[in-house]
Amino acid sequence: MERSLVLLKPDCVQRRLMGRILTRFEDKGLNIVAMKMIRMTTDLARRHYAEHVNKPFYPGLESYITSAPLVAMIVEGREAVRVVRSMLGETSGLKASAGTIRGDFSCSRQMNLVHASDGIESAQREIGIYFAPAEICECEPTLAKWLSAIDE
Ligand code: CMP
């Protein structure tokens, strides 16, 4: 089982898309094991987007990501990091394939609705930014045996 840190960004919350996007993760068979609504601070944004802080688009990204509440969650499942990224599609909603979340709902590179960790190490780092271990709800869903074979 892997875990990915997912953010439903301010545009997702403001556009009332939280439920539809959450439904996609649940429909896929992924588990939400932690979730909270927060307002991102500039300090938190700099920590989360440390690798982008010196990029030309960072000031705009910081202003957007701190502009309104967002929802942080941990999504768990088999190969969750890769699976969730593939469900999001390419960074720009203009380039993302139809059928992906960004391809279906976004027409922007910055306002691309959802963030998801891009690797297992970054997932661990990002999860640690938003959640204490006690906030993560370990639970084996009763449907698990119908989502994949035991020996897969
Ligand atoms: P995310 O997956 O959260 O990772 C970094 C974010 O920066 C990205 O989604 C976009 O919201 C934003 N971003 C990435 N590239 C650009 C860019 N070239 N111009 C503006 N925003 C960008």
Least confident of 60-69, 100-109, 142-151: 142-151
Per-residue pLDDT band for 103 (boundaries 50, 70, 90) equals: very high
Q: Which residue has the tokens 């449907």?
A: 143
* 88 membership: H or E segment, kind and range: helix 80-88
Share of the chain above pLDDT 90, in %: 93
Task: Check pocket membership of 57 for ligand 1, CB cut-off 6 A.
Answer: yes
Residue-averaged pLDDT of the chain: 97
Task: Check pocket membership of 115 for ligand 1, CB cut-off 6 A.
Answer: yes
**From 115, 126, 130, 131, active-site residue:** 115
Task: Check pocket membership of 14 for ligand 1, CB cut-off 6 A.
Answer: no
Whether residue 130 contacts residue 17, with contact meaning beta carbons closer than 8 Å, is answered with: no
What average pLDDT score do residues 26-40 get?
97
Nearest CA to ligand 1 atom 14: 110
pLDDT at 152 over 90: no
Pick the CATH number of 2-77+115-135 from 3.40.190.10, 2.60.40.10, 3.30.70.141, 2.40.50.100: 3.30.70.141
* Per-residue pLDDT at 53: 98
* Per-residue pLDDT at 150: 87
Return the domain boundaries, the chain: 2-77+115-135
Summarised one tens digit per residue, pLDDT across range 34-71 is: 999 999 999 999 999 999 999 999 999 999 999 999 99
Nearest CA to ligand 1 atom 17: 57
Assess whether 52 carries a catalytic annotation: no
Residues 6 or more apart whose CB falls under 8 angstroms from that of 88 comprise: 96, 100, 101, 102, 112, 114, 116
Beta-strand ranges (E) seen in 48-93 are 70-77
Q: How far is CA 85 from CA 54, 56, 59, 139, in A?
A: 24, 24, 24, 23
